[in-house]
Chain A
Amino acid sequence: MRQPSFDWTQGPAIPVVSVLFALVLGGLFVWISGHDPIQAYAALFRGAFGSPYDVSETLVIAVPLLLAGLSVAVAFRAGLFNIGAQGQLLVGAVAAGWVGALWPDLPGILLLPLTLAAGVLGGAAYGGIAGWLKAARGVNEVITTIMQNYTIVFVMHWLLQNGPMQAPNAFGTPASAPIGAGAILPIVLPDFLVPSSRLHAGIVLALLATLGFWFLLWRTSLGYELRAVGLGMRAAAQAGIDPRKRMVIVMAIAGGFAGLAGMIQVSGLFHRVYDGFSAGFGFDAIAVALLGKNTPVGVLLSALLFAAFSRGGTLMQSDAEISSHLVEIVEALVLFVIAAETVVRAVARRWGRPVKAAS
């Protein structure tokens, strides 16, 4: 049997080409709108990486994106489409904000792990519901997770707007009481290195989670089973791997990653939960996972890229006076090209390689 010749549709080629293609097309839009694309992208880059402070701000955005991206990616590996990272993130944030404020005087060595556990378990439970509905009732996880995203938003309205979680002295502001000092993630960059950096220890947790993602999927029996279910459900089932159980487990794991993202936003950044909290990360996470091809390094890199877009776009607007919507256009184009990958692949198969001789 001959080895198949090099297949350029594997590996990082397609994501890289997609991003470049999207940037070129985006530049075209800038040019049409009467600006200089080179200048625009220079401003974007400066905004994201221009100074140590900008880099640290980019990383602050990358942390939740990375975790939510891992959430979507782990579900993908088992063949499920988790649109609910956003909702799971919010549940994790609410659980962490609640526990963190419940015993504000506990020392950090107790309170931080408790807060972390609350965030992860909250997200896991929320994700697990979608997995269970799929396994037990055959309800499409795309539908349930989308609905769950709305549910938690309204539950948060209720909790925070004159509800049980609203801070006692908030006077109508929809925000929770601040978490105890022990639940706060420390800033990792000291002032003499990067003055007033907001980059917190959540980045360490996110990197550990990325390592955990890799270890789980490629080094454990459970990870093997999840991938087997994702790539060959019937083969897995006949070999004694019950796909339904694995669906519940993987959705709980996915929810756990997203819940951790929510916990980190609370413990590292805002120190409380408020209405309208961290909107949108869970949706960008779908793009992050797709662009990263559900691999740990890929998700890490694409989380950085999307964070840079987000941070740089804001600055581009103020510096170069180009609407930050351009960034949204570029992000959309990246998604578009990634989505077209299936088409590209099909074309590559058809023209790049002969149809197998089958007689």
Chain B
Amino acid sequence: MDTPIVEMARISKRFGDLQALAEVDLTVHKGDIHALVGENGAGKTTLMNILYGLYRPDAGTIRVRGTEAHIAGPRDAIALGIGMIHQHFMLVPPLTVAENVVLGDERGGPVLDTRGIEARVAELEKRFGIQAEPRAKIEDVPLGIQQRVEILKVLYRGSEILIFDEPTAVLTPQEVDDLFHIVRTLRDEGKTVILITHKLREVMAVSDHVTVLREGRNAAHLVTKETDPRAIAVAMVGRELRDIRVRPGNVGPAVLEITSLSAESDRGGLALKGVDVEVHAGEVVGIAGVGGNGQSELAQCILGLRKVTGGVIKVGGSDVAHDDPRRTRQRGVAYVPEDRRAEGLVLPFTLADNFILGRQDQPPYARRGILQGRVIRREGERLAKEFDVRPPDPDVEVGTLSGGNQQKVVLGREISESPRLIVANQPTRGLDIAATEYVHERLLEQRSRGCAILLISSELDEILDLSDRIAVMFEGRIVAVLPAAEATEERLGLLMAGHVEGVPA
């Protein structure tokens, strides 16, 4: 067997009293696509930050091409041919693609040789099959192209080993396919790729080997061809997964009826151009769509957070289109917002205080305008236990909780009042497998209680797993509504991309 290109042995790293990594091994061979997977907090990014020189390990050795390496900073890593494509792009928006690629590594004299640079960048693009117009400005190109610029930057510096940190988090499904095509080309050209992710589908689609971390330790090392998603998930979570699949339930009368709803976006254009959708009691209607096609505006209109310019929104038979959030909520509408940190929670508030947000002036939490501190604390403690928030301490600041626990607080608050309609916008974004599973179970529990659920998600798996019916949204309209049994990933994917069924493209 040849010498591995990267060999990290018994790496340990401690932050305060948190053991982030405990004797972790990682072996990557040249010309491989190696997936590094694990739940949030498993230590994936920490391990890669060590390889890239952003952290020093407390213990352990790193060998690159068989020689022991002491990587004190990214400069050392780059010299060893290691490059990192960060989750958050580090590009200068007013500069061109080519200028961004050479930024920080401008060869030659003080005058930029624009033509030479563009030629070199074009050459890289050709060799690795990466298309990104070198003269376009970064601010004018979509996220998928910006990511390609990050890749080109790393290649331009001569990297042989490319680390991708959760590269698909910000991409549309189409862009993800394109990215994987590029990643395969990189491998075929002899580069080595390390892919940090927690999405099993991506692991199966593109990787050759998989290293699974769990709670800072090695949990498994697998060959992708010889394993299946279930085995990887079990290694990640450390237990068997429960089977969450929606079973046909008892569908009741319509709770939410939306007819020809229109509304403007923040930028002034029309975000909703006549949306019609209905959700019945005991039913989950999934809204599938690429982000930015009006889904968030739809949720905001239902809640009364956005001005409705036309159409009707009925909840339980009464028109709420022009109600404010308070009145809408009084009709039994609950909301799990897209951005839990900005919209779902008041981060500096305590757990108990966040549980009463929106009910701060109602008994038993307040009497004659005076807060009932003891009741609030006691309720906070009870709800924290009921919804398994860790730690179940009513006085803890929610800003210090993990994403999964924060979402439990939001969800707990919203469903503890037994709503008749839940509008959930991207309820599992950024959550790991265990927390996602928890959110899904709770939502389905509400469905079997007879609650109507409007689920907005850009994760097709989530839509397919939970929905009774699926509505596809494209450019401010619902372009199709399918029963879940008739929906396939391919069909939804096409609809999401704007292909209207029955009309030849």
Whole-angstrom CA separation of A280 from B454 in the bound complex = 56
Residues in A whose Cβ lies below 8 Å from that of B342: 232, 234-235
Contact A220 B357 (CB under 8 A): no
A5, B324: Cβ atoms closer than 8 Å: no
Residues of chain B with a CB closer than 8 A to A220's CB: 366, 369-371
Q: Complex: how many Å from CA A228 to CA B349? A: 8
Chain A residue numbers with a CB within 8 Å of B369 are 220-222
Closest CB of chain B to A240's CB: distance in Å? Answer: 3
Residues of B within 8 A of A356 (CB): 15
Among B325, B353, B390, which residue has its beta carbon within 8 angstroms of that of A240? B325
Please tell me if A237 contacts chain B, counting CB pairs below 8 Å: yes
| Closest Cβ neighbor of A354 among chain B residues | B15
Q: A242 interface residue, CB < 8 Å from B?
A: yes
Verify if A13 is at the interface (C-beta below 8 Å from B).
Answer: no
Rounded to whole angstroms, the CA-CA distance of A242 and B402 in the bound complex is: 28
Q: A235–B349 Cα gap in the complex (Å)? A: 11
B246, CB-defined interface residue at 8 Å: no
**Residue B361 is within 8 A (CB to CB) of chain A in the complex:** yes
Whether B40 sits at the interface, judged by CB under 8 Å, is yes
Quick check: B349 and A231 within 8 Å, CB to CB? yes
A224 at the interface (CB under 8 A from B): yes
A221-B366, A240-B329 given as contacts; is B16 within 8 A of A353 (CB)?
yes
> Is there an interface contact between B16 and A235, defined as CB atoms closer than 8 Å?
no
Stretch at the interface among B44-52, B95-103, B436-444, B474-482: B44-52
Give min CB distance, A29 to chain B, whole Å: 38
> Within 8 Å of chain B (Cβ to Cβ): is A137?
no
User: Is B405's CB under 8 angstroms from A235's CB?
Assistant: no
Which B residues are in CB contact (< 8 Å) with A5? 16-17
Please pick, from B48, B371, B400, the residue contacting A1 in the complex, using a CB distance under 8 A: B400
Whether A1 contacts B345 by the Cβ 8 Å rule is no
> With A1-B401, A359-B42 in contact, do A232 and B347 touch (Cβ < 8 Å)?
yes
Q: How far is the CA of A239 from the CA of B337 in the complex (A)?
A: 10
The 8 A CB mask of A235-249 against B (1 = contact, 0 = none) is 111111110000000
Interface string of B7-19 (1 = CB under 8 A from A): 0000000011110
Give the residues in chain A near B356, CB-CB below 8 Å.
224
Smallest CB gap from B18: residue in A: A2
Q: Report if A238-B335 is in contact (Cβ < 8 Å); known contacts: A220-B371, A221-B369, A224-B371.
A: yes
B residues in contact with A239, CB < 8 Å? 325, 329, 357-358
Q: Is the beta-carbon distance between A231 and B348 smaller than 8 angstroms? A: yes
CB-based contact A354/B16 at 8 Å: yes
What separation, in Å, do the CA atoms of A218 and B347 have in the docked complex? 17
Q: Which residues of B contact A241 (CB under 8 A)?
A: 326, 358, 360
Min CB distance, B235 to chain A, in Å? 16
Closest to B87 in A: A358
Residue pair B48, A359 in contact (C-beta under 8 Å): yes
Q: Are A357 and B18 closer than 8 Å at their CB atoms?
A: yes
B364 close to chain A: CB less than 8 A: no
Q: Is the CB of B41 within 8 A of A236?
A: no
Query: Taking the nearest CB of chain A, how far is it from the CB of B217, in angstroms?
Result: 13
Residues of A within 8 A of B18 (CB): 2, 357
| Minimum CB distance partner of B356 in chain A | A224
A224-B353 in contact given A241-B358, A359-B38 (Cβ < 8 Å): yes
Give Cα distance in the complex from A136 to B481, angstroms: 40
Q: Is the CB of A359 within 8 A of B46?
A: yes
Which B residues touch A238, using CB under 8 A?
303, 305, 325, 335, 337, 343-344
State whether the Cβ of A4 lies closer than 8 Å to any Cβ in chain B.
yes
Contact A357 B349 (CB under 8 A): no
* Interface assignment of B249: CB less than 8 Å from any CB of chain A: no
Chain A residues within an 8 Å CB radius of B344: 235, 238
Quick check: is B346 within 8 A (CB to CB) of the other chain? Answer: yes
B196:A359 contact, CB within 8 angstroms: yes
Whether the pair A228, B357 counts as a contact (CB closer than 8 A) is yes
Interface contact A2-B371, CB-CB below 8 Å = no
Q: Is B238 close to A, CB under 8 A?
A: no
Is there contact, CB below 8 Å, between A231 and B346? yes
Q: Which of B177-202 contact A (CB under 8 A)?
A: 196
Query: Which A residues are in CB contact (< 8 Å) with B42?
Result: 359
Q: Is B253 interfacial (CB-CB < 8 Å)?
A: no
Q: Which of B311-338 contact A (CB under 8 A)?
A: 324-329, 335, 337
List A221-265 residues whose CB lies under 8 Å from chain B.
Answer: 221-225, 227-228, 231-232, 234-242
Q: Known pairs A235-B342, A238-B303; list 19 more (Cβ under 8 Å).
A: A1-B391, A2-B18, A223-B371, A224-B356, A225-B360, A228-B346, A231-B349, A232-B346, A234-B339, A239-B357, A240-B327, A240-B358, A241-B360, A354-B16, A356-B15, A358-B40, A358-B45, A359-B38, A359-B196
17 residue pairs from A and B, CB less than 8 Å apart: A1-B390, A1-B400, A2-B18, A5-B16, A5-B17, A224-B353, A227-B346, A228-B346, A232-B342, A234-B339, A235-B343, A237-B305, A238-B303, A242-B326, A357-B20, A359-B38, A359-B40
The residues of A with any CB-CB pair to B shorter than 8 Å are 1-2, 4-5, 218-225, 227-228, 231-232, 234-242, 353-354, 356-359
Task: Please name the 10 residue pairs, one residue from A and one from B, whose CB atoms are nearest each other, closest first.
Answer: A359-B45, A240-B326, A239-B358, A359-B44, A232-B346, A221-B361, A354-B15, A357-B20, A224-B360, A221-B366
